[in-house]
Amino acid sequence: MTIRLAGLTLPGRSALSDGLAKSIGALLSLSLTGLLFALLMTLIWQGANQLSPDFLLSAPQAGGRTGGINSILVSTAMILLVCLAALVPLGLASAILVTQWLASGSFPERITSYSMDVLSAVPSIVFALFGYQFFAITLGLGFSILAGGLTLACMSLPLMIRGTEQALRGVPNELHQASNALGLSTSGMLWKVLLPSARHGIAAAIILSIGRALAETAVLLFTAGYVLRMPSSVMDSGRTLSVHIYDLAMHVPGGEQRAAATAIVLVSLIILINLAVHRLLRTSEVSHAR
């Protein structure tokens, strides 16, 4: 819509609104990109001189003041795998139950939604106390990678369920109707239509859950412990990258540079996981198109 005045053509309100919205969107995009760039540059400035193959492959010594982070990388990977092994099946099953079998607006659906909202707002230190009491003491797991991974799964579960639920609800209704017309069973529609169509949203939920799990400190201090030795099983205690960063920055004099170097490794790991998931999704799209 345009406005003509004294032979001049002026943009209408809708054109001005569209232009303003685009400008704000571009500014926000640049701000977020700039924030990520500033974060990376700060870490690189502080800790790049500590990075080397030996830093990644050697064992930490003197409380992390010297040596590397090989046992910390292994502990982080093991805790993350335990977390995902519990989180992904339970999160998917819960989201499917909420979206496919609970009637919208029913009491079970409303109480489930309310419970997830409350759990999402619970501070991580509360989950830490719960994990310590339930997994470490009641179940007898002690300070272990298993206790830490299971507690992280409990903490990340609301995020996983919400993300997967939104992805499943975002599947076009026409696909539901087409599946019913073809006579697909509920399980057939779920595995052949809904989950493949919602895979991007599900992947995003998993990535967000991984990011929260990798960044957590308080939960793991209370459940997984912070010993530096190489773990031999999930029943051993272990220190993750985030806990190591906290310990170096807060308790080790002059440990800021090594904390920054460890932070570079952690951020790089998150970026690599994101890239790997997006690559897998693109590959699956190409295979599906063929």
If you average pLDDT over every residue of the chain, what do you get?
84
For residues 111 and 119, give the distance between their C-alpha atoms in angstroms, rounded to a whole number. Answer: 12
Within this chain, do residues 82 and 38 fall inside the same structural domain, yes or no?
Answer: no
pLDDT in tens, 103-133: 777 888 888 888 888 888 888 999 999 999 9
Helix (H) or strand (E) holding 149: helix 145-169
Within this chain, do residues 36 and 135 fall inside the same structural domain, yes or no?
Answer: no
Within this chain, do residues 194 and 167 fall inside the same structural domain, yes or no?
Answer: yes
Within this chain, do residues 46 and 161 fall inside the same structural domain, yes or no?
Answer: no
C-alpha separations of 89 from 39, 84, 142, 157, 163 in Å:
34, 8, 25, 10, 14
**CATH number of the domain within which 72 lies:** 1.10.3720.10
Within this chain, do residues 188 and 279 fall inside the same structural domain, yes or no?
Answer: yes
Give the pLDDT of the chain (290 residues) as one tens digit per residue.
Answer: 444 545 555 455 566 677 778 888 888 888 888 888 888 888 889 888 888 889 889 988 887 888 889 999 999 999 999 999 999 999 999 998 888 887 777 888 888 888 888 888 888 999 999 999 999 999 999 999 999 999 999 999 999 999 898 888 888 777 767 777 776 777 777 787 788 888 888 888 898 888 888 888 889 999 998 888 899 999 999 999 999 999 888 888 888 889 999 999 998 888 888 888 777 777 766 555 55
User: What domain count does the chain have?
Assistant: 2
240 occurs within a structural domain: yes
pLDDT at 87: 94
232 occurs within a structural domain: yes
40 occurs within a structural domain: yes
pLDDT in tens, 40-93: 888 889 888 888 889 889 988 887 888 889 999 999 999 999 999 999 999 999
* pTM for this predicted structure: 0.82
Within this chain, do residues 204 and 241 fall inside the same structural domain, yes or no?
Answer: yes
Range of the structural domain that residue 254 is part of: 53-289
Within this chain, do residues 178 and 261 fall inside the same structural domain, yes or no?
Answer: yes
4 occurs within a structural domain: no
For residues 247 and 242, give the distance between their C-alpha atoms in angstroms, rounded to a whole number. Answer: 9
Could you identify the residue written with the tokens 């205690």?
237
Could you identify the residue written with the tokens 């991580």?
124
